[in-house]
Amino acid sequence: MRIFFISCLVTALVLGGGQAFAGGGGSYPNGAEAFMSGAIPPPGFYFVDYMYYYNADSLKDDNGDDIAAFDDISVVANVFRGIWISNKTILGANYGQHVFVPVLGVDLNFHAPVGPQKSDSYDDTDVPYVIYSPLVLAWHLQQGKLHIAASFADIYIPTGQDDGNMATVGHNFWTIEPVVAVTYMLDSWEFSAKFMYDFNTSQDDYPTVYGFEVDRDPGDEFHFDYSVSYGLSKT
């Protein structure tokens, strides 16, 4: 087994923790994965560890207006990823599978009591869902300069509890997310883009700042990450 540990800090709202009161929002944390996103490792077993931190002291609603009651939010996450890539190929691509297990901690504060619990402070630590893809394809082309990765579907399997806590990391809905990612490397430059389309099921008992819960339909979503990076050293 080959083991890799990757730690990174990103300014992305992690796995929807802050979306529990803002309205809307899908399962994937936009901006979380961009660098080398299309470059799947060679055949073998791999372990990847992502670390995230996010903090904000202002928040807007769906109309772009500031939420006056909002004070601040802090999100810390550790995401464990296991990858298996086979020596065998399909359509010229190595195939494999991967699984993500995210662990999130959210600390959320308001200027006044809000939400179902009528509190000015909420917190939660949990595993919101497990992400699993039964089929990942990886192409390595142009003598290693061009890399393409495609997941038939990243399946978000809800595991956490959505119990009226405004800071809950739990998602009581499923997401089916086909993914295509591309990475191109040229000398010291790296260009990557990751394209995703989410099919979401309906969500029951969605907590609001007004103190009641509603049933909602998150709908479908197209979104993408991208990056351009320059390596200071080729080693």
Q: What is the domain partition of the chain in residue ranges?
A: 14-230
What pTM, to 2 d.p., does this model score? 0.80
Q: Which residues have C-beta within 8 Å of that of residue 34, sequence separation ≥ 6?
A: 192, 193, 194, 225, 226, 227
Instruction: Provide the pLDDT for residue 19.
Output: 35
pLDDT tens-digit profile of 14-69?
333 333 333 345 788 887 777 899 999 999 999 999 898 989 888 777 788 887 77
DSSP structural state of residue 23: S
- Mean pLDDT for 166-175 is 83
Q: What is the mean pLDDT of residues 70-84?
A: 92
List alpha helices for the chain, DSSP H: 19-22
16 backbone dihedrals φ, ψ, rounded to 5°:
75, 10
